[in-house]
Structure 1
Amino acid sequence: MAQRDYYEVLGVPKDADETAIRKAYRKLAMQYHPDRNPDDKSAEDKFKEATEAYEVLKDARKRQAYDQFGHAGVSGQGMGGGGPFGGQGIDMEEALRSFMRDFGFESFFGGGGGPGRARGAGADRGGRDLRVRVRLTLEEAAQGVEKQIKIKKKVTCSTCSGSGQRPGSRMQRCAECQGSGEIRRVQRSILGQFVNVTVCPRCHGEGSVIGDPCADCHGEGRVDGGDTVQVSIPPGVSTGDYIPLRGKGEAGLRGGPAGDVIVMLEVAEHALFQRVRQDLFLELPVTYSTLVLGGKVEVPTLDGAAKLTVPPGTQSHQLMRLRDKGLPHLNSRRRGDLIVRLVCWTPGRTGRDEQKLLQELETLEAGKLPGPRRPS
């Protein structure tokens, strides 16, 4: 079945800016999200279709290629189906992952756009979550790596062990709630009498307050400090992925639960390879004679040099695939591919012998050159 135009899928004009594209995708993604449409294959297909369109149109380089060549510019047709989505369309795992990267964090951090966790009991005394950004090379993203991160944060006060009170002193019963942790107010109306129960604002539901605060932390149970945390980054991560380190954030208030450290990952661009999901793309100059006669060429990969067989009669800019030479998929043994674009190299200068051979070749090729044609 023919693919729909990406602009049509999102319902935006071809000159739509990034904000309009993002807004249109979010609306469709929320409408067809699988959590809102369980066991609905049609909604699932529409969610994946919208995500595939968004992944292309939000990226300036992919969008330019799509605008110029259509789906062929981003799907690698004519090479067995390589391209941004492997020629098979985006799968649900990748679609959900893409959605979560750009929109799934908005319900956390008060809408600030980052992952977090729900708070249970003692949340009002819980420590703050900390977000740190870690930049990786493409090689580190491919192989996985251990990183040590230094962070500044509130740490448990060593003097009072986090209690907030001076060592040897005792907590005092809260005079506001008389130790119950609750404030009860009786309200009367024409319907009868009601009791309104709220958490005590003074002791925050604890029933006791600090009578003699710790001199070092001033009753908070925590002080300014720092720590070094270690994070294991698995192979196959992408920019926008994150790793939560539970309980490694700021210390809680007076013994409250510690927050988390959210490690946000950013993979740097590579000098040679362009990454599209788990596939890598590379442009390789080759000689005219190699394209015509065929042969073997050496191709750099993340695992070292590899040999690529060029068939006779290969056209310039043709794409060829080296299987399993891309990045590994997260939590999987599968790997992406390396897509090589062969580009005919033209020498800037030629010697007399070369010129003579080329002139003879030009004579032999006379009349064989096909005429102009419309780009496909």
Structure 2
Amino acid sequence: MSDPEKRRQYDQFGHAAFDGGAGGAGGFDFNNMGDMGDIFGDIFGDLFGGGSRRRASNGPMQGANVRTSVRITFEEAFRGVDKELDLNLKEECETCHGTGAKPGTEATTCPKCGGKGQVVYTQQSLFGMVRNVTTCPDCNGTGKIIKDKCPDCYGSGYITKRKKIQVSIPAGIDSGQSVRIRGKGEPGINGGPRGDLLVEVIVAQHPKFQRQDMNVFSTESISFPTAVLGGEVRIPTVAGDVMVDVKPGTQSGTKIRLKGKGMPSLRSQSLMGDHYVTLVVDVPTKLNEEQKAALCAYDQTMTGKERPKDKKHKGFFK
């Protein structure tokens, strides 16, 4: 083991490096195939549950991302809004300063992995000895063992605190999209940077407007005289009401386009979608005698025939 080259072969192939199985038996030179064991181990480890063969690392690692959600209105999605989130986030323990050890003590090097955070196992397979590298089960990959744990964080190095986080939601965001806040996620491992906070935005449904990408759709009722004679109609949009000239003879179901009255683009606030309005002619269900007479006169001028008068129902004794 004092020979560095033999030590490397032993670490890589175990005893098989010295029993003829790694030194060219059958025409194979395992010294030039250092990753062959890893390749076979990946294949058979996945098939037979041998565990992951990726090398563990006890170096600095970025913390995990934290996910949450926030609800906003349709109008807030149009103009953008700032929201305050109340979350439970991990912070470095003030007692042990993130070491996890009781004040006055310190963590020791893990005896099982020697501080590497990973252990190597060799096993016999159809292709010879296969090396498996796994996370050390004693130190969980940290390379350190804490005998006297911090009484406040119980050895984790972190405590959970309730914090208020401000998130700026840009105009034009759609439901299901997320806003990333850098450095507001889980703390890093072994001095690594914090993860990110991913805020999923849920836009509430609007009673009048529907959205598809940057375009907005709605339905607006117009009176029968307006549909026939034409005229101005007030159309609500997410940006405010606009006056639209309806052409004479407009049919029910006619669609009009209000250019630039839709939702803004996330990439460029100056780029706006359109608003498409479907006009539906409102047919009255209740008319007084004067209105009926006027409508009958209109019908006579259009058809040339006099409309029959309504028959009144007689009672039983009449």
TM above 0.5, one fold? yes
Q: Distance in 2 between matches of 1:157 and 1:233?
A: 31
Segment of structure 1 superposing worse, 287-296 or 252-261: 252-261
Establish whether residue 324 from structure 1 lines up as the match of residue 260 from structure 2.
Answer: yes
Q: Distance in 1 between matches of 2:121 and 2:232?
A: 86
Establish whether residue 349 from structure 1 lines up as the match of residue 300 from structure 2.
Answer: no
Greater helix share, 1 or 2? 1
Question: Equivalent of 1:155, from 91, 94, 111?
Answer: 91
Q: Does the C-alpha gap of structure 1 residues 344 and 158 become closer, same or farther in structure 2, counting only changes over 3 Å?
A: same
Q: Distance in 2 between matches of 1:286 and 1:344?
A: 5
- Find the counterpart in structure 1 of residue 225 from structure 2: 289
Q: Does the C-alpha gap of structure 1 residues 171 and 367 become closer, same or farther in structure 2, counting only changes over 3 Å?
A: farther
CA contact under 8 A between 1:133 and 1:264: conserved in structure 2? yes
SS in 2 for 1:141: helix
TM-score under structure 1 length normalisation: 0.58
- Find the counterpart in structure 2 of residue 340 from structure 1: 277
CA contact under 8 A between 1:131 and 1:261: conserved in structure 2? yes
- Find the counterpart in structure 1 of residue 72 from structure 2: 136
CA deviation map 1:300-326 (0-9, x unaligned): 112221011111111122111111111
Q: Distance in 1 between matches of 2:199 and 2:100?
A: 30
SS in 2 for 1:263: strand
Question: Equivalent of 2:176, from 240, 250, 253?
Answer: 240
- Find the counterpart in structure 2 of residue 177 from structure 1: 113
Segment of structure 1 superposing worse, 359-368 or 188-197: 188-197
Q: Distance in 2 between matches of 1:278 and 1:309?
A: 24
Establish whether residue 363 from structure 1 lines up as the match of residue 266 from structure 2.
Answer: no
Establish whether residue 210 from structure 1 lines up as the match of residue 146 from structure 2.
Answer: yes
- Find the counterpart in structure 1 of residue 205 from structure 2: 269
Establish whether residue 219 from structure 1 lines up as the match of residue 150 from structure 2.
Answer: no
Segment of structure 1 superposing worse, 275-284 or 244-253: 244-253
Q: Distance in 1 between matches of 2:122 and 2:247?
A: 88
Cα drift, residue 125 of structure 1: 7.4
CA contact under 8 A between 2:75 and 2:238: conserved in structure 1? yes
Cα drift, residue 204 of structure 1: 4.0
Question: Equivalent of 2:247, from 308, 311, 317?
Answer: 311
CA deviation map 1:320-368 (0-9, x unaligned): 1111111112212221111111111223332333222211110122189
Q: Distance in 1 between matches of 2:124 and 2:218?
A: 77
Cα drift, residue 167 of structure 1: 2.4
- Find the counterpart in structure 1 of residue 8 from structure 2: none
Q: Which amino acid aligns with 1:340?
A: V
Q: Distance in 2 between matches of 1:137 and 1:199?
A: 47
CA contact under 8 A between 2:57 and 2:116: conserved in structure 1? no
Q: Distance in 2 between matches of 1:151 and 1:343?
A: 47
How many residues of Structure 1 are paired with residues of Structure 2 in the alignment?
249
Q: Distance in 2 between matches of 1:302 and 1:351?
A: 37
Q: Distance in 2 between matches of 1:132 and 1:123?
A: 28
